[in-house]
Amino acid sequence: MGKGYLSYSATAILQAVASGYRYGFDIMDITGLPSGTVYPALRRMEETGLVISRWEKEGAAQREQRPARKYYEVTRDGEDVLAEAVRRYRLAEHLRPTTTKAKPSRQQG
Amino acid sequence: MPSVTPNPALKLKPHLWLIRAIGVIVPRRWRADWRQEWEAELRYRETLLAEWDKLDWQTKVDLLRRSLGAFWDALLLQPWRLEDEMFQDLRYGVRMLWKKPGFTFIAVFTLALGIGASTAIFSVVDAVLLRPLPYPQAERIVSAREVDAQGRQITFADRNFQDVQARSRTLAAAAEYVSQLTTVLGGSEPVRLQVAYVSRDFFKVLGVQPAVGRAFLPEETKVGGNPVAVVSAGYWEKLLGSRSDLGATPLRIDGTNYTIVGVMPRGFNFPKDAEVWLPIEPFPESQSRTAHGIRVIARLGEGVTLAKARAELSTIGKQLKQENGKDIDLVDIAAPPLQEALVGESSKTLLVILAAVAFLLLIACANVVNLLLAQMTARQHEFDVRAALGATRLRMARQFMAENLLLSLLAGGVGVLLSFWGVQALLLLNQNNLPRADEISVNLRALAFTFAISSLVAIVLGFVPLLRFGGRDLQARLKEAGRGQTANASSHWLRATLVMTQVALTLVLLVGAGLLGKSFMKLLQVDPGFRTDSAVAMEISVPVQSGNNEAQARAYFYQQLLERVRALPGVVAAGGVNGLPMTGGGADGQFLIDNNPALKGYGEFRIATPGYFGAMGIQLLRGRLLADSDSPDAQHAAVISNALARQYWPNEDPIGKRIQYGNMDGDMRLLRIVGVVSDVREFGLDANPRPTVYAHYLQRPRQAWSFTIVTRAQGDPAALIPTLRTTLQSLSRDVPAEFRTLAQVFSSSLDNRRFSLVLFGVFAVVALLLAALGIYGVTSYAVTQRTPELGVRIALGAQGRDILRLVIGQGMKVVLIGVALGLAGAFALTRLIANLLFAMSATDPLTFAGIAVLLLFVALLACYVPAQRATRVDPMVALRHE
């Protein structure tokens, strides 16, 4: 499977990330896919350059006394591939979440 | 990478514990990040839920469920983990092996021998014993046999089969069949093939239908039905050009035209080697319950167990016995599963050979372990330095395993190649006698077996050296390394044990080979009852117009043929018989003495020409042989074998007595005994000669549809073959023939025994070589280690003799213990091959003693060479090493 081919569930996951659902568990919630699917897919997509991952800023995490979370962002390549996949899976158009998660504020990183 | 905040209340949080646990299998370099990512998500969610007052047991379970997915995530990361450290180890391993080509070559080759031999034998055992027959639900097919009063399993009589079929309620279908070599015309050329005559439900029992066309219709499987035939894929392709119009030209068999209606799938091969199947029902049924020769197979009914069916058949058998009393031979019916029946005796032999090859593999492994130990000692310094630099025992063990895995895989690869050749050789040796020989090949299962064995070998190799080295004081070893002395008692003990084991196993194999060899020699001394030199056998089946005089026409054909053959230059004698000894052919059955139903006899029934006995070199003991004067109108004459004479007329002259053998061919006329001839071992050198009756071919031609002409020549019998062929063709172009010299016939009867002997012999010789190498290696190593000590001794005045005695003594001590263990082991184990031995005991003391001496001698030689080297140690050089 080359860079350009996305399975249906991978499309859903990538779309979730593109719509602002950047943390693993949030993606699970919005797509309804189990963690055993979401995380491996995220890792694959990171390897092929469709998403990148970052740790949230220390400050917020320390205040809440928990480890910093990792979040994912779609890359330019990822956007292209996603557009292509959405075309292919016409239904995916309809899967686009109606509520776009608000972009994280500067405080949360 | 961001730092991880401390985890306060970790306890009582199963989802977090789970992440901890699963994290163990994540590749080391990603472990911390991975854990943090998961923990962060879980903790964040937990906090949120607490904020929303929703942290009840349901949401806790939900958190747990989510964390379970971490396992899958970690699992999918595994390739990177192995890649990481494994590749490093493998690269290092390749370099190590490359640096020592001598060691690598010997180790790989030794292991390859063992693995290759094991795979080849396994392929045979798998195809013959383990794999189920290639029929649907093959375990539900049984082969039924009559059991006679002596407990022997014999073939069925037609009428008995009919009764069984009618009475049984537990069988879904039953079928009878016979098969014989017959000439088949109609294809691109006349050929002599195995033709099977099968009953209506034959294909139903096996569960196989023709791949092209159809099987027989019900109206074709009865008296007067249209003659139809089904052919094999091989015949269809080779002799019918795979033509689509099956019925275009009929097959002509024994004067009848058979329309081809079907072609069996490729590879279908039941009964053995059958190429044409014809319905048996149109042929006249024998009414006798004692004329055997019919084989029976049956399929168990739906839901019926084997035990239940066997019980029912046994009951039917006893019923039949009760109803028919002396008119029937059977007292019971046996129904072994078909696979068991087909495999028969060879299972014992094959399992013994499998055990022998396992020994060989062990010996090969022991050799390589010894080699590795020597290597290890040489590399001790390297390991100690690595340990000092922080490598753990586990890490070094893993690196070892990688090296040994490489060795084993290489050896496995070479072994697979060797096994292909091995299987070819095995088939060459004994193809005819190995059941299911066509299914034997080095296939995926064998390859999987090879891989498993190679891996096992790798693990064994990897652990042993490390166990030895683990846990010793590092400092002390580094100091020792500095001094150049790295041998120690436990290393020597381990190597000595390995050599002992090798010697013991080798002795067992050698004793086995020795016993088989001696047994074979004894067998060869048995008189077969006929002369095997200078004679050629020509097997023919003459197709004639079917009709009342069919049998007579055949007989006249043989007569003419023999006349022409006798006239050929270089021919000393010629004769014919319908079942050549040692080819398993020929009918047997009951006869009546003086037509008195109260006086029954049992014997082999043969049709022969007058010249047969001369051509075969069978001695006349009393009376006369069959003669040309025994014409069809004269009193029917018979010649009997000595065994028959002694059994039924122990105190009288059998000449002039009369027997009725109508059972065999329907001819009730009495046979008058005119002569007694010497016994012939019809069924092999190791079987007792059976009582035999020879009838004249012109007087009783009915059973002679297949005939063998035996020609005794002055010189090389094989030189006669082309002339014989032309002579036959001058009479008829439609009669194919197979030629073999009597020497070849005789030799093939020994194929089975030769098979075991050759295999054991090869294993034993290889094992001996390996053991010798092992002994040499250990002794040589000991000499190297003791060089300083030897130098001191020589400096103090020890002579060459003394050094020799010292070194050889040390080496032979181990060997002697090994020999003692081996003798004990052989004593216990050779009973397993007792049934392969002829006329001797499995604990024959001469063989045991002889082999022990041989092994000791070889061991002595192996010790001698390094011992000689020891005597040449220069004390100055040796002492300087201190």
The per-residue pLDDT for B465 is 61
The C-alpha torsion from B8 through B11 and B15 to B20, rounded to 10°, is 80
Task: Name which residue leads in pLDDT, B873 or A55.
Answer: A55
Residue B583 and residue B751 in contact, taking contact as beta carbons nearer than 8 Å? no
Inspect the interface and report whether the beta carbons of B69 and A36 lie closer than 8 Å: yes
Inspect the interface and report whether the beta carbons of B47 and A66 lie closer than 8 Å: yes
Tokens (6 digits) for B127: 């195809």
Alpha helices per DSSP H over B57-100 = 57-76, 78-99
Average pLDDT score over chain B? 86
* pLDDT, tens digit (0-9, with 9 covering 90-100), for B685-743: 888 888 999 999 999 888 887 899 999 999 888 899 999 999 999 998 888 888 999 99
Q: Is A61 on the interface with B (CB under 8 A)?
A: yes
- pLDDT greater than 60 at residue A99: no
Overall average pLDDT of the B823-850 stretch: 89
DSSP annotation of B841 = -
Q: What distance in Å separates the CA atoms of residue A21 and residue A23, rounded to the nearest whole number?
A: 6
B107-120 b/e (C-beta count within 10 Å ≥ 16 → b): bbbbbbbbbbbbbb
The per-residue pLDDT for B164 is 93
User: Of B539, B577, B553, which Cα lies nearest the Cα of B695?
Assistant: B577
Q: Is A70 on the interface with B (CB under 8 A)?
A: yes
Interface test with A, best of B3, B4, B30, B41 (most A CBs within 10 A): B41
Overall average pLDDT of the B213-239 stretch: 91
User: Positive or negative CA dihedral for B452, B453, B458, B461?
Assistant: positive
- pLDDT greater than 60 at residue B294: yes
Task: Name which residue leads in pLDDT, B39 or B346.
Answer: B39
Inspect the interface and report whether the beta carbons of A34 and B76 lie closer than 8 Å: no
Question: If DSSP codes are grouped into helix, strand and coil, which group holds residue B108?
Answer: helix
Distance from CA of B76 to the nearest CA of A (A): 7
Overall average pLDDT of the B566-582 stretch: 92
Inspect the interface and report whether the beta carbons of A25 and B45 lie closer than 8 Å: yes
Interface test with B, best of A66, A71, A108 (most B CBs within 10 A): A66
DSSP annotation of A6 = -
Looking at this predicted complex, what is its ipTM?
Answer: 0.82
Residue B333 and residue B312 in contact, taking contact as beta carbons nearer than 8 Å? no
User: Of B759, B751, B722, B750, which Cα lies nearest the Cα of B737?
Assistant: B722
Distance from CA of B45 to the nearest CA of A (A): 8
Share of chain B above pLDDT 70, in %: 94
Q: Which span out of A90-104, B431-445, B513-527, B582-596 was modeled with the highest average pLDDT?
A: B513-527
Rg (CA), chain B: 37
H or E element at residue B692: strand B692-696
Q: Which residue of A has its CA nearest to B45?
A: A25
Q: What distance in Å separates the CA atoms of residue B236 and residue B276, rounded to the nearest whole number?
A: 10
Q: How many CB pairs under 8 A join A and B?
A: 71
Residue A13 and residue A33 in contact, taking contact as beta carbons nearer than 8 Å? yes
The per-residue pLDDT for B485 is 46
* pLDDT, tens digit (0-9, with 9 covering 90-100), for B150-174: 888 888 988 999 999 999 999 999 9
pLDDT tier at B467 (50, 70, 90 boundaries)?
low
The per-residue pLDDT for A1 is 41
Distance from CA of A46 to the nearest CA of B (A): 13
Residues of A in contact with B45 (CB under 8 A): 25
The per-residue pLDDT for B655 is 93
Inspect the interface and report whether the beta carbons of B77 and A43 lie closer than 8 Å: yes
Residue B433 and residue B347 in contact, taking contact as beta carbons nearer than 8 Å? no
The per-residue pLDDT for B18 is 87
Given the DSSP bridges, would you call strands B156-157 and B191-198 parallel, antiparallel or unpaired?
A: unpaired
Interface test with B, best of A70, A71, A72, A108 (most B CBs within 10 A): A70
Q: Is B30 on the interface with A (CB under 8 A)?
A: no
Q: 């019998």: which residue's tokens?
A: B717
Task: Name which residue leads in pLDDT, A92 or B808.
Answer: B808
Distance from CA of A64 to the nearest CA of B (A): 9
The per-residue pLDDT for B474 is 52
Q: Is A8 on the interface with B (CB under 8 A)?
A: no
Q: What distance in Å separates the CA atoms of residue B125 and residue B117, rounded to the nearest whole number?
A: 12
Residues of B in contact with A40 (CB under 8 A): 72-73, 76
User: Of B855, B797, B869, which Cα lies nearest the Cα of B825?
Assistant: B855
Q: Which residue of A has its CA nearest to B4?
A: A67
Of A25, A28, A66, the CB nearest to B5: A66
Q: Is B68 on the interface with A (CB under 8 A)?
A: yes
Of B1, B8, B70, the CB nearest to A35: B70
pLDDT tier at B621 (50, 70, 90 boundaries)?
very high
Q: What distance in Å separates the CA atoms of residue B558 and residue B575, rounded to the nearest whole number?
A: 9
Q: Is A37 on the interface with B (CB under 8 A)?
A: yes
Residues of A in contact with B22 (CB under 8 A): none
Q: Which residue of B has its CA nearest to A71?
A: B37
Tokens (6 digits) for B56: 């009840």
Distance from CA of A103 to the nearest CA of B (A): 18
Inspect the interface and report whether the beta carbons of A39 and B77 lie closer than 8 Å: no
Of A40, A62, A68, the CB nearest to B76: A40
Overall average pLDDT of the A39-62 stretch: 90
Q: Is A54 on the interface with B (CB under 8 A)?
A: no
Interface test with B, best of A9, A21, A25 (most B CBs within 10 A): A25
